[in-house]
Amino acid sequence: MKFKFFFVKEMKKFPFFFLLLAFTLLLGTMGLVGISIVTGQVQEKLKNNANELLTSDIAVSARRELFPAEQEALARIFAPYPHQHYKIIDIYSMITHLREKATRLVEIRATEEQFPFYGKMTLRSDKFENENLYVSKDLADLWQVKENDDLQIGELVMKVKGVVEDDSSMGLRGFSLAPRIYLPLSKLLQTGLIKPGATGSFAHHYKLKDYTQDKIQNIKSSIYREIKDSAVKITLPEDSSEQTGRVINTLTNFMALSALIGLILSLVGVFYLYQSHLLARLKDLCLLNLHGLTKREIVTGIIAQFSFIFFVVMLTELALIVPLYKILAPLLSNNLGIELNGEVHILSALTEIPFLFGLSLFILVPLLLGLMRTPMGLQLKASKLSMGRFRFWDFLPFIFSLWLFSCYLSHSFRTGNLFFGSLLLVFLLSTLVVRGGQLLLRKMISGKGLLLPTIENGIALRGLTRSGHKLTLSFLSLAMGATLISLILQLDRMILKEFALDPKKPSLFIFDIQEEQMEPLTQHAKEIGAPLAYVTPMIRARLEKVNDKKYVKKKRSYDFRSKEEDEDQRFRSNSLNITYRNFLTDSEKIISGLPFPPGGAPDDRLPFISLEKRWSERMDLSIGDKLTFDIQGVEFEGIVHNIREVKWTTFYPNFFVTVEPSMIEAAPKTFLAVLPSGPKDTKLMFQRSSVEKFPNISFIDVEELVGKLSGLFIKARQAIEVISWLSLAVGLVILYGLSHDQVYRRYYDLALMKSLGFSATRLRLNLLYEFGALFLSAMSLGLFLGWLMAQVVGKEVFKLSLSVDWGRILYPAGLLTVLCLVTILASSWRAVRARPRELLSDS
């Protein structure tokens, strides 16, 4: 009987409910699975790009050659994993172009056979071979280096074999301080540049034969355990460059949150649908109980019925997802700007299903417990059937599993906790607002007639104050939906703003300008119509003491480190470039403390120091701290006077540490300057003529660099936008389901009002007032809370600055309001057309 009732009769009798339930589940889960697949693919693609940047699966490097013991430890650690290995040494050195008799700073990259494991070296002609000398394109253009030209590198003279047109490892290196040349590692040793104590980057790169994330993490942990010196750095593809790492982290977190949003919205829909259905079916369930079916058997039957629907949905989903993804992959590739693989690995899609099933089932727990608490025998005698009430702890399994799932999807306890906490807060605030609002309305209408000022409005107000938990639930669902949609759009905007590059970006970044060259160079720039900007001194320094105590780097943990800890480690370097100036650039803002007083530091006090916010946090420094720097053997002391926020993406010369002009001006230094954007010809002319006049000065073509970065940012932005809209679509479908259901529940009330003399127009007005007020208030609250959440999540998770984008608030508000009102009208259509005849006894 049970099987027949739950699987045959019910489904035959209520095809609309089961179809709607299946559709809601399909949308929510398909969204998540789809997003997971796209996310996986995008991450895979970005990871591949990151691999290209690093050129390997993992690199272990230091600013010195690894000690023999360290090299032995590495050999031991990698031994169990079949792998390939090469070494790269990067150093900066002056080289001489013998034909031109010019000397300049270059970055020398010395490589071994098999370099690069990932990515490629594209030459203007011919193929890259590790035993030759190559120069980068920018150096060739600047210096007019041709094939077979002789370059003197240290004590060695080598012939240029070719020009590297594109080095995929250069992509996002940020400011590579000088043009690059490539030569074999064996030749570098002959140059005499590598002497004991020489500094540079000495990296050991590995490619695993059978790469897995687990293996890499194991290796990483082992290295941390065996090599205690924090000067030895482990670099994985995802953090091969700060920017790439940041983009990937941002993207991963954002996509995970988006996926979760789609899922939550659909689960709200599932809860709502099942609640309506169970209420409608309560009489029959009570009858079943009367005929001998225990409550436990009824609940088991419902679980079995739901599980059946769920797995049918999953099968349908898998059957749909493969061909759909094959069709969509090229489209997504176009939109994302990332070439996606059309292959879907069913197994990877399947990993999400147990989580989805668990969560979907847990959302039904309060309903099933409510059913267990229903006095079924008494129900048949009652004039109106009602289910047992939910209790708060009924939702605990769902809440707990949602928290776990948040952390699982965002791959971070911090992100998961923050997101989950924010959701709880939104939930509590929405409940408070809806209950408070109802109380206020109740007071307003107390003792008054129905004409407020119209009868439609009067009835609507009563509906709003007396619909009880159904209204609260609708309000919550709508407010949560609006919150999440607003959150997506706000975060998207904040990330876009963060990644947006200044249109007044510099064209050239000029560095290594000697003090005596400043004046002639500035004059020269003026003469050719390209005046220099942001001329800034740069001094190499090392933080030695804090408050007269030797600065000690925090010890790192040698086991598992989260993304956040890795970031910490990256930032916590005590060797850095500092500058002195008495003003702030457009890209700086003091967030605590005071600006430097004008006129520089007097002799009777220590000079003031300004610190960049994130660096000060990572180094545990705060206002009032006395810092002692070592500047080429001379101690320099100062007091932290303020903390600054710096927008690094402006590409202006900015520093972690800025010192008040004082005796530091006498320290050995070079200068940085930028050439603002202007005609390309002027830039080229300036570059060429400056190289001739000042051969030691180096240039970075910021436009080219920014172009590469912009490309990546645009790809990331597009990926985020696509996912935002996917979640938005899921949210809107659920909102439609909710409003349709709410209006449908009123069918008999509406038919009755019609029998009493309400015209269809007046009924529609009544619905519009009631649901319009509900939608608008929930929407307004949701959009505000979404904005608030975006600020918190953006600041805490993505390190973004606060912002208000009215467009991103008003646009979804307008769109959602119109959609919701259209939804009310559309879903009220049938109810308004209902014939009151159906109220009669034999109908």
Partner 1 sequence: MMKVMNLRKSYGQGEAKVEVLKGINLEIIKGETLALIGKSGSGKSTLLSLLAGLDKADTGEIFVQGHKISSMSERELTHFRAHHMGIVFQQFHLVSTLTALENVLLPLELLKREGAIETARNLLESVGLSHRSHHLPSELSGGESQRVAIARAVAIKPAILFADEPSGNLDEDTGDRVMELLFKMVADTGTTLVLVTHDQDLAKKCSRIIHLEHGSLL
Tell me, residue by residue from 731 to 750, as one string, x for binding to partner 1 by CB under 8 A and - for no binding.
-----------------xx-
Tell me, residue by residue from 554 to 583, as one string, x for binding to partner 1 by CB under 8 A and - for no binding.
------------------------------
Residue 293 CB contacts under 8 Å (≥ 6 apart), including other chains: 1, 2, 301
With respect to partner 1, which residue has the nearer C-beta, 400 or 748? 748
Which of 59-67, 433-441, 658-666, 751-759 is the region at the interface with partner 1 (rule: CB under 8 A)? 751-759
With respect to partner 1, which residue has the nearer C-beta, 560 or 748? 748
- Applying CB under 8 A, what is the total number of residues that bind partner 1? 32
Cα–Cα dist 700/705, whole Å: 8
- The minimum distance between CB 842 and partner 1, in angstroms, equals 4
> Is residue 801 a contact partner of residue 498, using CB atoms and an 8 Å limit?
yes
- H helix or E strand, kind and range, residue 784: helix 760-796
b/e string for 256-283 if b means 16 or more Cβ within 10 A? bbbbbbbbbbbbbbbbbbbbbbbbebbe
Residue of 425, 606, 684, 752 interacting with partner 1 (CB under 8 A): 752
User: How many C-beta atoms surround the C-beta of residue 437 within 10 A?
Assistant: 17
- The minimum distance between CB 450 and partner 1, in angstroms, equals 4
- The minimum distance between CB 366 and partner 1, in angstroms, equals 21
Q: Which residues pair with 233 in a beta bridge?
A: 61
Residue of 79, 346, 552, 756 interacting with partner 1 (CB under 8 A): 756
With respect to partner 1, which residue has the nearer C-beta, 666 or 756? 756
Which of 37-45, 221-229, 801-809, 830-838 is the region at the interface with partner 1 (rule: CB under 8 A)? 830-838
With respect to partner 1, which residue has the nearer C-beta, 225 or 466? 466
User: How many C-beta atoms surround the C-beta of residue 648 within 10 A?
Assistant: 14
> Is residue 521 a contact partner of residue 690, using CB atoms and an 8 Å limit?
yes
C-alpha to C-alpha distances, 281 to 17, 286, 360, 399, nearest whole angstrom: 12, 9, 20, 27
C-alpha to C-alpha distances, 428 to 25, 424, 779, nearest whole angstrom: 26, 6, 16
Cis previous bond, 116, omega within 30: yes
- CA 123-128-132 angle, 5° bins: 115
Torsion of CA 699, 243, 715, 215, to 10 degrees: 130
> What is the DSSP code string of 43-85?
HHHHHHHHHHHHSSSEEEEESSPPPHHHHHHHHHHHTTS-EEE
Which of 42-50, 231-239, 755-763, 787-795 is the region at the interface with partner 1 (rule: CB under 8 A)? 755-763
Residue of 225, 554, 830, 835 interacting with partner 1 (CB under 8 A): 835
Identify residues 346-385 at the interface with partner 1 (CB under 8 A): 383-384
Position of tokens 């030895």? 232
- The minimum distance between CB 281 and partner 1, in angstroms, equals 18
- The beta-strand segments (E) located in 198-279 are 201-208, 233-235
Counting Cβ atoms within 10 Å, is residue 636 exposed (0-12), middle (13-18) or buried (19+)?
Answer: buried
With respect to partner 1, which residue has the nearer C-beta, 351 or 386? 386
Cα–Cα dist 638/626, whole Å: 6
Tell me, residue by residue from 379 to 418, as one string, x for binding to partner 1 by CB under 8 A and - for no binding.
----xx-x--------------------------------
With respect to partner 1, which residue has the nearer C-beta, 221 or 454? 454
Residue of 759, 814, 818, 822 interacting with partner 1 (CB under 8 A): 759
Does position 755 interact with partner 1 (CB under 8 A)? The reply is: yes
Does position 802 interact with partner 1 (CB under 8 A)? The reply is: no
- The minimum distance between CB 763 and partner 1, in angstroms, equals 10
With respect to partner 1, which residue has the nearer C-beta, 245 or 458? 458
Q: Which of 675, 651, 657, 653 is nearest to 580 (CA)?
A: 657
Identify residues 445-484 at the interface with partner 1 (CB under 8 A): 449-451, 455, 458-459, 462-463, 466-467
Which of 214-222, 329-337, 532-540, 831-839 is the region at the interface with partner 1 (rule: CB under 8 A)? 831-839
- The minimum distance between CB 478 and partner 1, in angstroms, equals 19
Coarse DSSP helix, strand, coil percentages of the chain, rounded to the nearest 5 percent: 55, 15, 25
- The minimum distance between CB 758 and partner 1, in angstroms, equals 7
Length of the chain: 843
Does position 757 interact with partner 1 (CB under 8 A)? The reply is: yes
- The minimum distance between CB 836 and partner 1, in angstroms, equals 5
Q: Which of 450, 475, 465, 452 is nearest to 753 (CA)?
A: 450
- Contact residues for partner 1, defined by CB under 8 A: 383-384, 386, 449-451, 455, 458-459, 462-463, 466-467, 748-749, 752-760, 835-837, 839-843
